[in-house]
Structure 1
Amino acid sequence: MLGPGLLLKQRFGPFFMTQALGAFNDNVFRFALMFTLTFTAADRLTLDINILMNLAAGLFILPFFLFSGIAGQLADKYEKSLIIRRIKLLELLIMLVALAAFTLQVWWLLLALVFLMGAQSALFGPVKYALLPQHLAEDELVSGNALVSMGTFVAILLGTLLGGLLAGWAGEATWIIGVAVLVFALLGVLTSLGVPRAPAGDPELVLNWNIYSQTRRVLLYARSSRSVYLAILAISWFWFMGSGYLTQFPNFTRSVLHADESVATLLLTLFSLGVGGGALLCGFWSRGRIELGMVPLGALGMAVFSWDLYRQAMAFPLPESGEVLRDLSTFLQVGGVRLAMDLMLAGVSGGLFIVPLYSLIQKKTPVQYRAQVIAALNVLNSLAMVLSAVIGILLLGVVGISLPLFFACYGLTALMVALLGMRLARDPLLRFLIYLLSHSFYRVRHRGLEHIPESGGALVVANHVSYVDALLLAGACHRPLRFVIDKDIHDLPVLKRFLQLAGTVPISSERIDRQNLQQAFAAIGDALQRGELVFIFPEGRLTTDGEMHDFKKGVERILAQYPVPVIPMALRGLWGSWFSRANGRAFRKWPRRFWSRVEVVAGPALPAEQATAERLQQVVAELRGDWR
């Protein structure tokens, strides 16, 4: 479930609003303070304004290093909705002090409050992601993470924009800012009252208040699972890259694009909305399951659009003599549209990248220390952002490279992450690409896929209607399918390499190639014993009239040697398509049914002893019905 349906649920809606208001108010407060320090109070401060800006950024990040380990313990030991309400009350108290500080213009106190806001955000982080698996069903987890990611980035964007506007509106009347952040904190307290209970993961946990040893402990928890640890490192890399982008936007806009604040605001908006849009797109494509195939595709997208951003920036026209900084309209007229699209699509790619990884961490981590693993993620994210700032200083300040080349360097890291992801997640990537390809031809509806077991070996059978049957079935199933296909098709030069990567099993009839048939049965047996799903078309050939042909006895031979459950599936609505043999040979007629509706239907598994060829044909025919 994605969109308004989930947002309107009591178990998700109040939590979503609470976390979004928290991210929003954090950024309203920080950016209103930074703009005020820059434009209103700069003359009254004894410290250089550039040092103050970096000090404020550091004060907000520092608590994530210091307190994330302790925050993870608290989230695992105590009931989570109670922790959320207490954290929101802490935010309200901080904003009350902020109102007084803004009114009296006590700037050093406001900087101290930046540290406290970072501390309450550090406390909230582990609860935020540890709570979702307790309130959402497994098939809602990806959608929930997508909405949270979207809400977070939109809230950050809106908070950043409103913070700047508030500073301008308030001028010397800085108490207006204090009133605004206090109101937003109060709204957060009110929405937190609706968050339902989420039991403690480990009520018997003994708290360790030693910051160093507890941080070290949560980092060790994070390394206990290889897949979880790799996901944590990947998310931290994303924040490394995203922080590098966001930090350089203002200077990039002024010194490279020769444009004013309106252009910087547009670029920031497009990038943030792109991440949010990518998160929602991930939720839509995931269909309630974790699609790790999106991860390398997201990293590849960030690499490609970073490279194009570099090329566009290097070729961006210089201003004419005497021309002031370009406004938004002029920027778009001189070629800024493609550059802006590069930034937005890089953000979309980032959204596709992070949502499956967050979902994987939540699903694969035991509930007893889930929050502490997420605390380790927050520590490494903070470290990645600090590292990004240090590298930015070295590359731009010491080495002296240009800002376009800086973005290209960061894009190169994305390419390396993409290549590593393709290696580690080859099967999920192939399956997701197959899903995108097959679902580009048709509007595919899935029914009964819950009958496919989460683990263990099984045989899958279906009717054979068209040349895209395998693509539709592979795209529909949430587990990889090892297809058994005709050897002549497998050996076609244009398909052979891809089919080998997909792990297909080529098979010939006994009278044509007896040795190949024996090798195929051995490969099928090995796959079933390893707990894989093996798929065959028992008819052995495409239908020529839309009706099912007799199922061959090969399926019984497999089950006699390897007795595994058999999952019957049916394809509906493909007869008459361009890929079928209706009205002559496939591919020879004009395609008339692009984007038409088809169905993939699965039935309950049959035990091996009941799965005769005749029985399977009867079950598949019943699943198909009259819709060919």
Structure 2
Amino acid sequence: MNELHSPSHATRDPQLATAQVNQFRLLGQQRFAWFFWTQFSGAANDNLFKFALTVMVTYQLQSGWLPAELAGLVIGAVFILPFLLFSATAGQLADKFEKRRIITRLKWLEVAIMAVAALAFWKQQVAVLLGCIFFMGLQSTLFGPVKYSYLPQHLHPAELTGGNGMVEMGTFVAILLGSLAGGALISVPEVGRLHVALACLVVAVLGLWVSHRIPVSPAIDRHLRINWNPASETWKNLKLAHRNPVVFRSLLGISWMWFVGSVMMSQFPSIAKDVLHGNEQVASLLLVIFAVGVGTGSLLCEVLSRKQVEIGLVPVGAIGMSVFLFDLFLATRALPAPAGLLGVAEFTAAPAHWRVMADLGLLCLFIGLYSVPMYALVQMRSQPTHRARIIAANNILNALFMIVSAVLAGALLQLGVSIAQLFLLLAVANALVAGYIFLLVPEYLLRFIAFIMTHLVYRFRVRGREHIPASGPAVLVCNHVSFIDAILLMAASPRPIYFIMDARIFRTPLLGLVFRLAKAIPIAPQKEQPEVFDAAFARAAQVLRDGDLLGIFPEGGITRDGQLQRFRRGVQKIVDDAGREGIAVPVVPMALTRLWGSFFSRIETRNGENVAMTKPFRRGLFNRVGLEIGSPLPPQDTSPQALQARVQALLNQDGN
């Protein structure tokens, strides 16, 4: 088999993959490009179809059974319903069968649906078009688990954030272009419906042609027995996802993003007409801003994450979403109504509308920052043999949240709540939901703190990140320079680290709370607190049994003179104990550099004692610190002297 077609190609040479991780380069590689354009064409066609139908019902038809103000919500709910009903089956199919075969058959289904829709557009058969919307939703339902389980098969872990960012960016650009085309074509007098019908057919055929060039993706579980009962399989998939709390709560976070996003997207025609007093072109302009904002945020994830899955961006995204939803409420609650509907030129001439556009664009940018790391985390942390079914569980939750959002938004609008007030309710709800999720999964808050420290307090450079194992147990050994060493190591690792730390650090008010949230393991001298000492080693052994990363500072305390102190025997004891249980644990040496002299190091003296955190701007902001990571050492080479010599060598090789 051609190596570009092999799903293991991306994982054979981690250093090569890391060097080529630039997200735009993926578009020049067969393993990604044909899949990207297949996904792009499908998203464009879905939205060309949906937006054309929404504009037709909102502006052109007078349908007694489908009020114009509810058209967007109804069409969105019909499209999403199959995700709720059939995602469980879709996840099984994606795990059992080769993915290119599934994709090409789904593209044939798209061609057939669009042929029926073309006739329905010409005849203005709204009921038939809603039926076609349902079947397009079914086609997207079956495609979803294939899409998000395809990427981890063909991309290295270091490429997942960039790859997901490209897919999310492409999806929203496709949404933009499809919606713009749908709105423009349906608005052409007399022949608009014919143009929409032909465009949908052409895009479907192009997508079919591209799909046949996607590389082969072998089935994950060929022997899986399909459970065709959607109710029982849905429940089974949700239970499967629930086994991993971090993954399941990330799924809830993604679903909440779609709750907010679906309310916004379904209401764009109504927002344009009833709030901003604009015509169809203004509705299309809002979609442009929406897509550009989400696409920009998705691409920024690659830049800000330093080529790893950086979930510290998720709280950044959540905060930004609430801030700009609230300002959108302030900006739209009292806009004056003109004599008639405004065109794009008249709309953009009003200064008040620029604030609305800025709020919408920034809201969408933060949605991108919020969603991409969550998708990448779910892909990375899900068990490969069940990944597609986990994605199916995600689609089920997404659909449930989106349908509930449509019902709630419709009910509130019918009760007299204005669209501006809807923005306010979303801002408050988003703050509450995000806060709840982050308290349930402290890892998001911890990575947020680490993100702030390494982007706003320090300029943090990491060399040798590829030496941290992508899976399996390992012990990370580092020098101890300051009170935030553990936070910096968190920022450098794509996986959670469980640290063994001096119990006295837990008495520090703020840092103690942070390390308790991180489930750090307190340790004390055996002579002083033998029960704490024994509990620390027992907990460390369990971390390694679970296949996780264990972080240790073998000096036993923070340096008081900036020099490397004598290493203790704890690491060797932990590694030897694991070996007796049949667990071979590599030890990864690390060295923090240029951190001595910072606010968090014990460089100051008070009453003859070395103290830290006394001069907040001792070295100013954005001063450079680094982390040198060496290649893993086998268990037999982990004596205190050998580890200390290796860490010292890493300190010596730091370039100024």
Match of 1:611 in 2: 638
1:267 to 239, 263, 286: 286
Match of 2:491 in 1: 475
Contact 2:113–2:132 (CA under 8 A) maintained in structure 1: yes
1:372-395 C-alpha deviation (Å, 9 max, x unpaired): 443343343333222212111221
2:628 to 600, 622, 625: 600
Match of 1:567 in 2: 588
Question: Which residues of structure 2 form unaligned runs of 5+?
Answer: 1-20, 544-548, 579-584
Q: Are 1:246 and 2:265 counterparts?
A: yes
Match of 1:396 in 2: 413
Match of 1:136 in 2: 155
Hey, what's the Cα distance between the residues in 2 that align with 1:561 and 1:38? 68
Q: Are 1:164 and 2:178 counterparts?
A: no
Hey, what's the Cα distance between the residues in 1 that align with 2:525 and 2:137? 68
Q: Which amino acid in structure 1 is aligned with residue 569 of structure 2?
A: E
Hey, what's the Cα distance between the residues in 2 that align with 1:107 and 1:541? 71
Hey, what's the Cα distance between the residues in 1 that align with 2:366 and 2:522? 36
Q: Which amino acid in structure 2 is aligned with residue 568 of structure 1?
A: P
Give secondary structure in 1 for the equivalent of 2:569: helix
2:239 to 214, 223, 238: 223
Give secondary structure in 2 for the equivalent of 1:11: helix
- How far 1:217 sits from its partner (Å)? 1.3
Contact 1:578–1:592 (CA under 8 A) maintained in structure 2: no
Give secondary structure in 2 for the equivalent of 1:406: helix
Compare 576-585 and 531-540 and name the one that shifted more: 576-585
Give secondary structure in 2 for the equivalent of 1:617: helix
Q: Are 1:386 and 2:374 counterparts?
A: no
Q: Which amino acid in structure 2 is aligned with residue 569 of structure 1?
A: M
- How far 1:581 sits from its partner (Å)? 9.6
Compare 72-81 and 61-70 and name the one that shifted more: 61-70
Q: Residues 605 and 179 of structure 1: is their aligned pair in 2 closer, same or farther, counting only changes over 3 Å? A: same
Match of 1:306 in 2: 325
Q: How does 1:5-84 map to 2 (within 5 A)?
A: 5-36=25-56, 42=61, 50=68, 56-84=75-103
Hey, what's the Cα distance between the residues in 1 that align with 2:439 and 2:213? 44
- How far 1:325 sits from its partner (Å)? 4.6
- How far 1:84 sits from its partner (Å)? 0.8
Q: Which amino acid in structure 2 is aligned with residue 385 of structure 1?
A: M
Q: Residues 170 and 433 of structure 1: is their aligned pair in 2 closer, same or farther, counting only changes over 3 Å? A: farther
Coordinate RMSD, CA, aligned: 4.0
- How far 1:34 sits from its partner (Å)? 4.0
1:486-538 C-alpha deviation (Å, 9 max, x unpaired): 95x7756675554555566788999xxx747x677456435423426233262
Contact 2:44–2:177 (CA under 8 A) maintained in structure 1: yes
Q: Residues 135 and 571 of structure 1: is their aligned pair in 2 closer, same or farther, counting only changes over 3 Å? A: same
Question: Which residues of structure 1 form unaligned runs of 5+?
Answer: none
Hey, what's the Cα distance between the residues in 2 that align with 1:317 and 1:454? 55
- How far 1:429 sits from its partner (Å)? 2.1
Hey, what's the Cα distance between the residues in 2 that align with 1:223 and 1:486? 37
- How far 1:397 sits from its partner (Å)? 0.8
Hey, what's the Cα distance between the residues in 1 that align with 2:43 and 2:105? 16
Hey, what's the Cα distance between the residues in 2 that align with 1:208 and 1:500? 42
Q: Which has the larger radius of gyration?
A: 1
Q: Residues 75 and 270 of structure 1: is their aligned pair in 2 closer, same or farther, counting only changes over 3 Å? A: same
Q: Residues 200 and 413 of structure 1: is their aligned pair in 2 closer, same or farther, counting only changes over 3 Å? A: same
1:556 to 569, 586, 600: 569
TM-score by length of 1: 0.82
Q: Which amino acid in structure 1 is aligned with residue 652 of structure 2?
A: G
Q: How does 1:75-94 map to 2 (within 5 A)?
A: 75-94=94-113
Contact 1:150–1:275 (CA under 8 A) maintained in structure 2: yes
Q: Are 1:121 and 2:140 counterparts?
A: yes
Match of 1:536 in 2: 553
Identity rate, percent: 36
- How far 1:298 sits from its partner (Å)? 3.2
- How far 1:243 sits from its partner (Å)? 1.2
Contact 1:296–1:421 (CA under 8 A) maintained in structure 2: no
Hey, what's the Cα distance between the residues in 2 that align with 1:67 and 1:486? 51
Q: Which amino acid in structure 1 is aligned with residue 566 of structure 2?
A: K
Hey, what's the Cα distance between the residues in 1 that align with 2:558 and 2:522? 14
Hey, what's the Cα distance between the residues in 1 that align with 2:444 and 2:510? 22
Q: Which amino acid in structure 2 is aligned with residue 353 of structure 1?
A: Y
Match of 2:24 in 1: 4
Q: Which amino acid in structure 1 is aligned with residue 135 of structure 2?
A: L
Hey, what's the Cα distance between the residues in 2 that align with 1:62 and 1:388? 12
Contact 1:142–1:283 (CA under 8 A) maintained in structure 2: yes
1:231-283 C-alpha deviation (Å, 9 max, x unpaired): 33333332222111222333334444445555544433333333233333334
1:360-418 C-alpha deviation (Å, 9 max, x unpaired): 444455555543443343343333222212111221212x2232222222223212221
- How far 1:214 sits from its partner (Å)? 2.4
1:196 to 207, 215, 220: 215
Compare 113-122 and 325-334 and name the one that shifted more: 325-334
Hey, what's the Cα distance between the residues in 1 that align with 2:271 and 2:192? 32
Hey, what's the Cα distance between the residues in 2 that align with 1:8 and 1:481? 39
Paired residue total: 609
Q: Are 1:318 and 2:353 counterparts?
A: no
- How far 1:326 sits from its partner (Å)? 8.1
Contact 2:455–2:622 (CA under 8 A) maintained in structure 1: no
